[in-house]
Amino acid sequence: MAVLALWLSDGGGSTESDSPQGAAFTGQGGAVPSPRQRALVPADAPEITGLSAAIVEEPCGALVYAANAHQQLPPASLTKIATALVVEERANLDDVVTVTVNGPELSAETDATVMGIEPGQRLTVRDILHGLLLMSGNDAAIQLARYVSGDVGAFVALMNQKTGQLGLKDTQFTNPHGLDDPGLYTSAYDMAMLGRELLRRPELAEIVRKQAYQPAWDGPALRNLNLFLGQYPGALGIKTGFTDEAGQTIVAAAERDGRRLIVAVLKSGDLYVDAGALLDWAFESTSPACGTG
């Protein structure tokens, strides 16, 4: 039940999601995946419930597995990976922020996850980043966007600029938190590469590996809603999400025998099972795709 609660709370919306094997979501201008796209899946790869998935090798970004990897789909709270990247680049993590966002009110209005910040609190950017990545706080996303750029729209422009700098072509952000919006979309490949970029930032990589964190406030410790950390040996994070349109989404990373892989699955019916099965297969059935020199 704890897993189900996570899926239902991470992004808001009703308590039911469409089966990922039902009517295909074609994204923003994306067609139903062609047989050629589906043929990219190796014959011995596990069957998954997700509509699209990608696995990349962390050191060089080589694509190890692709199933409809460039199909445009809603990301849900995986959006917050890009939010964190922009914040880490443009703000000092020790800066103190005077909070203007009311988390409890936002939760009541949108039925979405929050870290629970309230106007007048003074917290560091680092504290709020933990609320963004561990608790998947939509209030944290809005507060960080306001702090970095003055308003949410200007911050979203930086998010889209970042994906362009990384050469990612299947993503468009319209908000910093991932609640469903007609113009918000990404792909499994783009999300895997954004996850890879997060792991290359030591401060952010450390955050997503934590089970809990205590901000400098009178409130409780923040717990990591990503249950993959406790379920999969060698897990390194990174982020999960859920909305009505997106279904279950995940970017997961793990390390085994010195090899580090990142998997992204979109429109999943069982995000932890899908991510674990794909990582097991990749570690056991594929050779490292990056050179050692």
Please identify every residue annotated as catalytic: 77, 80, 136
Could you tell me if 275 and 231 are in contact, meaning their C-beta atoms sit under 8 angstroms apart?
Answer: no
CA dihedral sign, ordered 183, 239, 145, 149: negative
Residue 216 exposed, middle or buried by CB count within 10 Å (0-12, 13-18, 19+): exposed
Which one, of 235, 229, 226, 268, lies nearest residue 254 by Cα?
A: 235
Which one, of 99, 103, 93, lies nearest residue 222 by Cα?
A: 103
CA dihedral sign, ordered 194, 83, 6, 169: negative
Could you tell me if 19 and 269 are in contact, meaning their C-beta atoms sit under 8 angstroms apart?
Answer: yes
Could you tell me if 147 and 117 are in contact, meaning their C-beta atoms sit under 8 angstroms apart?
Answer: no
Tell me which amino acid residue 268 is: S
